[in-house]
Amino acid sequence: MNRIFRTISYFLLTGAALTGCNEKTPVEADYDVIPLPQSIAKAETENFTLNSNTKIVYPKGDDVQKQTAEYLAEYLKLSAGIELNVTDEDATDNSIVLKTGYQGEKPESYNLTVNSKQIVINGMDAAGTFHGIQTLRKSIPADASKHTVVFPAVDIKDYPRFEYRGMMLDVGRHLFPVEFIKKYIDILALHNMNRFHWHLTDDQGWRIEIKKYPELTRIGSQRAQTVIGKNSGKYDEKPYGGFYTQDEIKEVVAYAEKHFITIVPEIDLPGHMLAALTAYPNLGCTGGPYKVGEEWGVFDDVLCAGNEDTYTFLENVYAELIELFPSKLIHVGGDECPKTRWKECPKCQAKIKELGLKGDAKHAKEDMLQSYVISRMEKFLNSKGREIIGWDEILEGGLAPNAKVMSWRGTEGGIAAAKMNHDAVMTPGSHLYFDFYQTDDTTDEPLSIGGFLPVERVYSFEPVPGELTAEEGKHIIGTQANLWTEYIADSRHAEYMVLPRAAALSEVQWTMPEKKDYERFLPRLAKLMELYKKLDYNYATHVMNIASSMTQDVAKGAIALSLFTFDNAPIYYTLDGSEPSDKSTKYEKPLEINSSTKIRAVAYRKGIKSKEYTESFGFNKATFRDIKIENEPHKSYTYDGAITLVNGKRGGLSHSNGEWLGFYNTDFVATIDLSKSVDISNVTTGTLVSIGSWIFGATGYTVSVSEDGINFKQVYNEEYPVIDNSNPNNRVQDLVAKFPTEKARYVKIIAKVTKTIPDWHPGKGSPSFVFVDEIIIE
């Protein structure tokens, strides 16, 4: 496979000569930025040279464009090291002209043209002009202060694919200072995003001042202590709290508006309201007492849907909220609302009877009650000129008439909404939950909720599912990533989780899918990461490590292992487990692995060794043999199918790294054909325990053998207790069956799922997953 790598290059212009050691050498701008513009056409005119006499010109009397011009001046000062004059006086030569009036494809379009005299950024609207200056700033090296920047003549026509392009930040679990919220907005603007979804309340803290209800912040913003790690049962015994005043909210809203970003505020209801109930216990079904959440998860205590005081409270809260946020969309949450209290609450049951709510085959009458709550809030907000959006649970029990859906439990919620002619924003956890680990080697990583979401997987996301018609697809209005902060306590950690995955997300949001190419994206990302460094952003560097891809050749019983780096740095490797160096074998072509092997590899850049790449392959009697599974794995955890279980590669601690198959609410049952009768006495099956992701160990393990594939003899059976909460850490748990030697061609394996999640877990009473990886037969 040919891999194309482009790097930023420095060019000496024809005829230029160095007349002194202080003279700057020219460097050309490169318009292949992130997100990649829709059209970049080279112009047949002379180039434009930036110098200290260049002026930035904005339309007379246009304060919005003046602000954009001043931002551009700041950006160019940072990277080019020169201060440019910002003016509303016309200038035809040596100027960067900002304007609007471009007749583009859609709102936020812009046209950027360069000739020898001017750079003109012409937006369809002011937001389009702003996106144009982002392209201009990203086209030059992050530090060009020792060079003269030359902009090649060009005609760029650009527009966004989606109208909604955002990221979410959860401040309920951990609070972040106003200055960081502004920095987060800066990050969004750099990546051409236009929505900041601000998750302002949760069980663990109420973070926005509501003047009519002062106890929300006096009591609801404070928790007595915080659990250590992943619901370990141990606490830090340190009070934690804080909130944003309305003046601070206004300050942030104004800052976002200057960056053409709309803040979508979220007050989550009717669940995730424990902080509010602690402040006002009369709003709960039991009347309390309650306490602000000190652990993570989902709590049974929610707003009482049968209490009219609840609706008065919500209307008053939203009335103050909409005075602070001009966004047309208001997020009402709607996720993870247990109905436990409602089923027992006389007021809720009376409300159900009063409304004549009935359950159906899919939904209980209490689900219908939640739909009533959401619809009632929608009517109130509609009366104030606003519209609602909510997590995909708002589909359950019937969707409010004009609601938009944010699809987080896969893409199914967005699909359902689109088929009902409702707009949807795609934000599936599988591709866009930025609280997941960015690497499957988590040894040196800060604590995360789990999962595995590398840059490449984010980049691969396609928001418009193929099962939608062209007309239905129009209802997918965009996509966003979510940063939940249970395990993210400070700003630097938050930046680290967002970057550089935000760059991959920006091309999903902005660039047309036919123009996306991950291999061409990587060198552009390398250039953008230099700007991150210049801006003092804390970003992950995993994309700089050696990456690999594997192709399984079942017929040959081998794996073709390809290694590469984003900048084509030379790679050296060993296959005997010894430490690699630049004296080791140089990687030239894919390696064929057909026996147990440990590969160790490093790349070298300017004599500096990269982080070591290590991978182990274990071959046994089951490797690459025919395997059939009886129950289908969950569609989110199918990956390469059954062959994943016998490919010689063991899964790690991340359930989403492609090396595990996940079975939901069903046992794992598989039969392996060893191709001939052989002696066996040991069958090991790897399982994963990740209780935070509802993945529990097996509760039983059975092995049977057969010579004909029809008549099986059980040779091993063991039952296991349901996992308790004494060890909250992710771990691989091998199921090992040892028995007297048997001759067999077929081996049948059963790993029993934990049928019901135990009471100590936030998902108590729900079905669980059993995750299975490598099967080893000896």
Q: Which amino acid is at 238?
A: K
Catalytic residues: 202, 272, 336
Q: What pLDDT was estimated at residue 150? A: 97
Q: Nearest to residue 419, comparing CAs of 360, 477, 474, 368?
A: 474
Q: What is the pLDDT of residue 628?
A: 96
**Cβ neighbours around 103 below 10 Å, total:** 8
Q: Measured between alpha carbons, how far is 284 from 301 in angstroms, rounded to an integer? A: 7
What is the reported pLDDT for 22? Answer: 56
Beta-carbon contacts of 718 under 8 Å, excluding residues fewer than 6 positions away, are 700, 701, 702, 735, 737
- Residue 629 is encoded by which pair of tokens? 């599974």
CB atoms inside a 10 Å sphere around CB 760: 12
End-to-end Cα distance, the chain: 36
CA 20, CA 15: separation in Å to the nearest integer?
15
In sequence order, which residues have a C-beta less than 8 Å from that of residue 555 and are 6 or more positions away?
A: none
Q: Hey, what's the torsion of the CAs at 223, 224, 226, 227, to 10 degrees?
A: -120
pLDDT of residue 5: 35
Residue type at 144 in one-letter notation: A
604: helix, coil or strand?
strand
Distances (CA, A) of 17 to 12, 13, 50, 64, 591: 9, 9, 18, 42, 48
Alpha helices in 259-385 (DSSP H): 274-279, 308-324, 340-344, 346-355, 365-383
Closest CA to 540 of 497, 507, 504: 497
Tell me the backbone φ, ψ of residue 375, rounded to 5 degrees.
Answer: -65, -40
Whole-number pLDDT of residue 34:
98
What is the C-alpha separation between 238 and 294, in angstroms, rounded?
Answer: 11
Neighbouring C-beta atoms of residue 94, cutoff 10 Å: 16
**The pair of three-digit structure tokens given for residue 487, joined into one six-digit string:** 């395990």
At 647 the pLDDT is 92
Check if the beta carbon of residue 286 is closer than 8 Å to that of residue 357. Answer: no
Give the bridge partners for 41, in sequence order. 155
Instruction: Report the C-alpha gap between 151 and 656 in whole angstroms.
Output: 43
CA–CA separation, 65 vs 204, rounded Å? 41
Instruction: Evaluate whether 668 touches 632 at the Cβ level (below 8 Å).
Output: no
- Residue 649 identity: K
Q: How far, in Å, are 436, 505, 726 from residue 488 at the CA level?
A: 11, 20, 23
Crossing angle for the helix pair 518-534 and 501-510, nearest 10 degrees? 120
**What does each C-alpha distance from 68 to 130, 345, 688, 694 come to in angstroms?**
6, 55, 51, 47
Q: How far apart are CA 39 and CA 17, in angstroms?
A: 34
Q: Name 353's Cβ contacts closer than 8 Å, sequence gap at least 6.
A: none
Query: Where are the extended beta strands (E) located within 608-699?
Result: 608-609, 613-617, 626-629, 661-664, 668-689
Residues in the chain where the model's pLDDT stays below 70: 1-22
Integer angstrom CA distances of residue 620 from 227, 574, 623, 646, 648? 43, 22, 5, 9, 8
Strands (E), 43-94: 48-49, 55-57, 85-87
> What's the rounded Cα separation, in Å, for the pair 226 and 233?
10
Provide the edge-to-edge strand list for the sheet that holds 55-57.
Answer: 39-42, 154-158, 110-114, 118-123, 95-100, 55-57, 85-87
Per-residue confidence (pLDDT) for residue 201, from 0 to 100: 98
